[in-house]
Amino acid sequence: MIDIKLIRENPELVKENIKKKFQDKKLVLVDEVLELDKASRENKTRADYLRGQRNSISKSIGMLMANKKIEEANEAKAQVVAINKELEDIEKKEEEFALEIKKRMMVIPNILDASVPIGKDDSENVENCRYGEIKELDYEIPYHADILDSICGLDKESAGRTSGNGFYFLTGDAARLHSAMLSYARDFMIDKGFTYCIPPFMIRSDVVTGVMSFEEMDAMMYKIENEDLFLIGTSEHSMIGRFKDTINKEEATPIALTSYSPCFRKEVGAHGIEERGIYRVHQFEKQEMVVICKPEVSMDWYEKMWNASVEFFRSLEIPVRTLECCSGDLADLKVKSCDVEAWSPRQKKFFEVGSCSNLGDAQARRLGIRLKGENGNYYAHTLNNTVVATPRALIAFVENHYQKDGTIYIPEVLRPYMGGKDKLVPNK
């Protein structure tokens, strides 16, 4: 949510930003906010005037009574009653104006960073850089579900009976590999100075609307029946919500956290043949990083965070690239975002395995996350980034490390988490 002062002082900038996101239907919201804000301020001015009048008249009543001017005192009392009635109506209007303004402000997109490329959708995202050598293979890479099946590691049929489509069982070495990647990601981030956390896996609705747009909420979140609780889609939701309505000492920032959680997502829509297997599922696990910091250093942290993801995947000997998200592909709260994509030697293309985002002060405004500085309190900046999300990272791993003889190579950094194994051997 942007600062309403920006709409008051530069509405054309806000409208231009909406156009850059190709959301022209929202342009009318800016004018509506201006009209409502003007009416609200006039309403408040009238309320302040009436309160002043009431105080003055109330003071005079005692004097009138003391001077036995009963009739005049009664008239003054009647005036106070009338003022109180008008103030009651005005205060109701104030609440209505505040509600209507917030309703519109919540869907006006955040101001994009000047470096964000302009484009309508993800087809116009821009490649930044590639990391790692893409090897030419003289053998075919099987579909990831078949690779996992070769080590008796994947059971979707049983999961369909227990839970339905979009769920899976991982077993044996596949399950161990999945856990090993998460454990390694945890330690990788701890070594970078991030504090490890395990958050609640359910959050209240006021936290949900604080951390994401309504469109994202409808498309992603699972609601707990008869409870004001939602299953989290990522641990960022809980981690940012942890600081709701807090004032944090400026000198205690940056607050750099890395968190583990299961994640639950509706994943609405048709996904195509390449998203069979375990590419797009309703439940997965993730190691996340979250930073709360001063505005002037948030872009520095943005660079550090996506670089950490690249470094993590390169340590697993997986080629990756970063993709700058264009304006039309950014969620409304985001100032800037990039995807980290891993190479698929089977498909011979990159696919998304993580995303890094700077949300400016949008989440902080919605949730009341402030920093205390020398010149008073101000809103913090929040950022989030995926360290590793399985099973997508698992897909990238088994494809990139599948050998001609059917074994799966284990890079050195992961061997301590795999009982010293340097490869997985097919047993089916």
Q: Which two tokens stand for residue 98?
A: 């505040």
Q: Which two tokens stand for residue 311?
A: 């470094």
- Structure confidence at residue 71 (pLDDT): 86
Where in the chain are the domains? 4-105, 122-424
Judging by DSSP bridges, how do beta strands 195-197 and 255-264 pair with one another? parallel
Q: Which residue, chain included where needed, has tokens 């484009």?
A: 119
Q: How far apart are CA 348 and CA 340, in angstroms?
A: 16
Q: Which two tokens stand for residue 345?
A: 């030697």
Using an 8 Å Cβ cutoff, are 322 and 215 in contact?
no
Q: What is the DSSP letter of 244?
A: T
The reply to whether omega before 391 is within 30° of 0 (cis) is yes
Whole-prediction pTM: 0.89
DSSP 257-319: EEEEEEEE----S---GGGTTTTS-SEEEEEEEEEEE-GGGHHHHHHHHHHHHHHHHHHTT--
- Structure confidence at residue 405 (pLDDT): 96
- Structure confidence at residue 273 (pLDDT): 42
Q: Which residue, chain included where needed, has tokens 């800037």?
A: 336
Bridge partners, 292 (sequence order): 255, 382
Using an 8 Å Cβ cutoff, are 413 and 329 in contact?
no
Using an 8 Å Cβ cutoff, are 283 and 264 in contact?
yes
Three-state secondary structure call for residue 110: coil
- The span from the first CA to the last CA of the chain, in angstroms, equals 54
- Structure confidence at residue 317 (pLDDT): 98
Q: How far apart are CA 175 and CA 395, in angstroms?
A: 13
Q: What is the DSSP letter of 214?
A: H
- Structure confidence at residue 275 (pLDDT): 54
H-helix or E-strand spanning residue 61: helix 27-66
Homologous superfamily (CATH) for 122-424: Bira Bifunctional Protein; Domain 2 (3.30.930.10)
Q: How far apart are CA 378 and CA 365, in angstroms?
A: 10
Judging by DSSP bridges, how do beta strands 255-264 and 283-293 pair with one another? antiparallel
Record: fold of 4-105: Helix Hairpins (1.10.287)
Q: Which residue, chain included where needed, has tokens 């949008």?
A: 362
- CA torsion 321-353-244-335 (nearest 10°) is 40
- Residues of the chain under the 70 pLDDT cut: 268-276, 428
Q: How far apart are CA 129 and CA 138, in angstroms?
A: 26
H-helix or E-strand spanning residue 46: helix 27-66
**In terms of Cα–Cα distance, which of 304, 313, 315 is closest to 344?**
313
Q: How far apart are CA 162 and CA 259, in angstroms?
A: 28
- Structure confidence at residue 269 (pLDDT): 54
Bridge partners, 337 (sequence order): 357
Q: How far apart are CA 259 and CA 387, in angstroms?
A: 9
Q: Which residues contact 185 (CB under 8 A, 6 or more apart)?
A: 287, 312, 387, 388
| Alpha-carbon distance values, 115 to 111, 261, 363, 426 (Å) | 12, 32, 21, 47
Using an 8 Å Cβ cutoff, are 330 and 359 in contact?
no
- Structure confidence at residue 377 (pLDDT): 97
Q: Which residue, chain included where needed, has tokens 């009318």?
A: 28
Q: Which two tokens stand for residue 369?
A: 């996350």
Q: How far apart are CA 268 and CA 193, in angstroms?
A: 36
| Alpha-carbon distance values, 71 to 58, 66, 152, 199, 285 (Å) | 15, 12, 96, 67, 77
